[in-house]
Structures are given as C-alpha cells and as structure tokens.
Amino acid sequence: MSTSARRVAQLSELPEDRAVRVTVDDTPILLVRDGDTVRAYSPDCPHAGGPLEEGALCNGRIICPWHKGTFDVATGDVLEPPALLPLDRYPVTLDGEDVLVSAEKIARPEPAPHTPPDAAAAPAKHYVVIGAGAAGAAACAALREFGFDGRITLIGDEAHAPYDRTSLSKFVPSFEMAPADVPPLLPPDWLTMHGIERIVAKVARLDVPARTIHFEAGAAGSQQSIEPLTYDTALLATGSVPTVPDIPGCELGGVHVLRHLDDAAALIDALGDDAAQTRVAILGSSFIGLEVASALRKHGVPVTVISRDTVPFVKQFGERAGQMFRALHESNGVKFYLDAKVASLEGDEGNVHAVMLDGGEAIPADVVLLGTGVAPATAFVEGLPLQQDGGVIVNAGMHAACGLYAAGDIAVFSLRENQEPVRIEHWRVAQQHARIAAQNMCGARNRYLDVPFFWTYHYGKNFEYLGHASEWDEIVVDGDFDHHQFIALYVRDGNVDALLACEREALTARLSDAMRGGLSRAEALAIIGAAAPDATTRGAPEPTTS
C-alpha cells in the first residue's frame, strides 16, 4: 500500500459540525475539522464498529451514533465508553485549501511489557478490581491510561476474559452469534501486555477495614485454596445476580437465568436442534426478558411472556411507549399474560413442562427463562454499611470507603445535585463509573458528570434511552411511536431528565452532549428542530402526560 499523501478534500468542503469519511489507498479514514485544523482517524468506533461520520461532532467531542462512545477531537483518545481504546491516527497536511492524508498510521507508543518491581525497591502499590465485567475491563484500561504503573489484579468468577454482555440477550438467542463469538472488550493479549494479573475465583469475603479479600476454595476448577489477598486500593465492580422468585418448581431442569456467557450457552443448548418446536415461557417483562423474546422469535421459537406488570416498561417509559413495545412484540408473535401471577412451575421427570398461573391456567413450556430482575452482588462485603437492597453508597467520585471505590449496578450515587441518590443498572453507566473511579485512584478529583445511556434491541430496531427519569410532568413526542421513528422527551420542571428515541441516532448523539450541562425543554426542541428542517410537515412535537 502506498504511504504517500493523497489529496482527499478541500478545507472549505469539510463541515465543522460532522466528520467526513474518505478513502486513501483503499483505507477508510475519518476527517475531522476543528477550525482551520484537520485531523484524520480510523472511521469506525472500536467498540462495535459504529460509523463515526453518522454521529455528532460538537464541543471538541466525536460521538458514535450507535452507543455514544466519545473521543477527543484533538487526540482521538477515549472520553466516554463503551469504547475502551483510542482511535487510530493518520498524518494530515494542508497545502492551501487542499487536505492531504497518508494511509500510514501514526504509531502510538507501545506499552513496554510490564515487569514486577525490583524486590529491593519499595513495594509497588497494589490495586485490585473485583469484578471482571464491563466496569472491571474499563477500570483496568483506564488505570493504565491514566498512568498507574503499579500492580493490578483483576478478579472474576468467570474463566472468560471480559466480554460484551449485551450480546447475550440481543444476538445469541437469535442464533446470529454463537456464544463463542461474543466479542471481548479488550484485545486478547491486552491484559497480559499491560501487566494485569487475573484471578478466576469467587470472593467469599471482602474485609473492607482490613483491605483483604478471602476466596472460596476450588478456584478455577481446582480444589486448592487461594491465599487471602491484600491491597492498597480496590474497585468493587461485581454487578448483579439474577433474582430467583420464591415460586415452587424453579429448581426444575429447563429453568434458566441469563447473566453470564455460560448461561447463554445453556439456554441455546436447551432449545435443542428443533428450536422452532421448543415452547419458551419468559417470566417477567424486563429488558432482558423482552430482548430475549425478540431474539427467539427471530429464530421462530414460540414465546410467551408472563408478567405482574400491566404494561411492559411502563415505569421506565410511560404508558404510551409501553403499549408500543407490547404491540411490536405481539405483531411478531409473542403472547402476553400481563397482570398475571405465577403459582408454580410444574415438571415431569425433573424437567419443566408448564407454568401454572394463580387462576389455575396452565401454560405449556419446555424452557422457562427467569427475567425477574437482579440484585447487587455484594453479599460477601463486610465492614461497610450497605443499602437495604445491597447497594453501596458512593460519593460523586465513586468513593465508598477508605481504600475502596464502587462502580456499576451496585453503586448508589447522586446523578444530580440536591436529588436522592439512585442505583442505575446500565451496562455503559458501569463503564462510566469505572473510568471516574480509575482517574481518582490515580490521584484525580473528578466527579460523575456524564449522561446515562442504554440501548434495547427489538426486531431489528434499536431504541435508545438517554438520562434517567423516575417521574415527569410531561412527555413531548416528536415523530411517530407506531412506526418506530420518534424522539420522546421526559420533562420535569421545564428540564429534560431523559429521552427515548428510535431511528434518531445522529440526533441523540448531539443531545447526549447537550444534556451534560442540563437541557431545558425549549433547548431540546430547538436542537430537534434544527436537525429536522421539515419538522413542520410531520406536525409539531406533541406533549402527553403518560
């Protein structure tokens, strides 16, 4: 491949509010204009390949349209996850108005292989990350990124390296992705290259005052015990465990939860060779439950959803949006039993064969998935006051106690000043927390100022949720709920606390940046209007109170 610079554009042709994709010697490259400066980067988000030119470019930030990974315009470095590694850079020169780019990457400094400290020297600080999921991987990457050169130990009870857990409900049950193909969060050799020690074991006890971790016997398939581990500072990022309802029959064969990669593999195995003939009942209309329902229906599996809720997602999104999700699933063949109570799971020869409702109706089922919620995985924590549900109270810097930080599902934190702390079970929020914690473990004094975000995937449609709203005065809708092309603003006291959108990915990328400093209803509508000059032909945004 030629490494000579090629003319790819003129400076005046490059807009300042969005990036442009070009090709140099068969290499796709992203051009980003910042005033009279042009920079060139790899064009696809390192997390899942989102095309960055379809996102937003604002306030010195490149924002991915798909999952809102954010990069520094000046350097290509990660500012917000889910991407954990920076963009590749390419040389750019300006010759008058001509923009010339070479397809030869600018080399980033390669990390030297991490070596243990000299025994004669002062012992290096030891940081431990407890939990090898999204937050754990993000913390390890950020600790090295922000200059910590001491000892890091990553502890998790799965043999797999940290992986993209979101695929387990979205793509594995549809057979679009085999369990073995679920992507890792970091390159295969990254942990080794950066000197991250791994311990595959269950933590039996975390003694917070003594800064000591005790392990269960038989770690990593061995009957040999692991000696207790002491640390200087730890990040607790253990996530959640599925809650198993107090229903007779949950111990039967064919009853599943979905949290780990092995759970996903077991669910696929349970469907058998003729999955279209395997009747699946999902208990609970949670995000996990309905994403799995969507994935299974794509493969032709008969699905019934049984829930105590009267409308799916009504607490999160309101009545109108909840009815939209129900209609979408019903139009794809899912049968609902809502406002229903399960009395028992009935079995034959040790395997489930029916779900019995409180009213006496029997729903045939060869496989049952428990989508009945999760609880913080903190039962092993000692010497630290916990919330009633097991949550860990942290300050805005994710600090929980002397020598201890917490991130992710378990963290109870203040999303906004002068509001009650919340616990948000979002995959990307866990990564945001972890980066803040890692920065502060490296000596910073940073606060969580990010915007929560998650996405939920149903029948090929990606629904995005930005912010967090537990209550609202009105919901302002621009677009069409029924045709799944809309943005809905959840407004309280004149401010946008959250939004739900479908097929508005570039717009939500821009709004994700605007919400960082607080966003009024009027400001949000102005951004929406500017992004859609033909908004008047669709009708003005419509307020509702659902």
Asked if the domains at 116-242+373-450 and 255-372 fall in one CATH topology, the answer is yes
Q: Is the pLDDT of residue 455 over 60?
A: yes
pLDDT value, residue 123: 77
Distances (CA, A) of 145 to 140, 142, 149, 461: 9, 5, 10, 35
Residues 6+ apart with CB under 8 A from 510: 56, 58, 63, 527, 531
pLDDT value, residue 4: 83
Residues 6+ apart with CB under 8 A from 406: 235, 236, 237, 392, 394, 398, 400, 433, 437
CATH class of 116-242+373-450: alpha beta
Q: What is the mean pLDDT of residues 364-382?
A: 97
pLDDT value, residue 534: 42
pLDDT value, residue 398: 98
Both tokens of residue 212? Answer: 């000591």
Q: Would you say domain 255-372 falls under CATH 2.40.50.90?
A: no
C-alpha 468/C-alpha 503 separation (Å) is 20
Cβ atoms of residues 104 and 129 within 8 Å: no
Q: Is the pLDDT of residue 545 over 80?
A: no
Per-residue model confidence as pLDDT tens digits over 522-542: 999 999 999 865 433 334 455
Cβ atoms of residues 239 and 391 within 8 Å: no
pLDDT value, residue 225: 77
Q: Is the pLDDT of residue 40 over 70?
A: yes
Both tokens of residue 540? Answer: 């003005």
Q: Is the pLDDT of residue 85 over 70?
A: yes
pLDDT value, residue 108: 83
pLDDT value, residue 26: 94
Per-residue model confidence as pLDDT tens digits over 187-216: 999 999 999 999 999 999 999 999 999 999
Q: Is the pLDDT of residue 140 over 50?
A: yes
Q: Could you tell me the residue ranges of all domains in the chain?
A: 6-101, 116-242+373-450, 255-372, 460-544
Both tokens of residue 300? Answer: 């032709």
Computed on alpha carbons and rounded to an integer, the radius of gyration of the chain in Å comes to: 25
Q: Is the pLDDT of residue 223 over 60?
A: no
Q: How confident is the model at residue 128 (pLDDT cuts 50, 70, 90)?
A: very high
Which one is predicted more confidently, 220 or 504?
A: 504
Burial of 530 (C-beta count, 10 Å sphere; 0-12/13-18/19+): exposed
Per-residue model confidence as pLDDT tens digits over 323-354: 999 999 999 999 999 999 999 999 999 999 99
User: Homologous superfamily of 460-544 in CATH?
Assistant: FAD/NAD-linked reductase, C-terminal dimerisation domain (3.30.390.30)
Return the CATH architecture of domain 6-101.
3-layer Sandwich (2.102)
Could you identify the residue written with the tokens 């400290």?
117
Q: What is the mean pLDDT of residues 253-268?
A: 97
Mean pLDDT of the chain: 93
Cβ atoms of residues 285 and 305 within 8 Å: yes
Q: How large a percentage of the chain has pLDDT more than 90?
A: 90
Provide the strand spans (E) within 431-494.
453-458, 461-467, 474-480, 485-492
Q: Tell me which of 14-18, 67-71, 256-260 is least confident.
A: 14-18
The tally of CA atoms less than 13 A away on the side-chain side of residue 410 is 30
Could you identify the residue written with the tokens 């079995």?
347
Q: Is the pLDDT of residue 384 over 80?
A: yes
Q: Is the pLDDT of residue 461 over 60?
A: yes
Q: How confident is the model at residue 20 (pLDDT cuts 50, 70, 90)?
A: very high
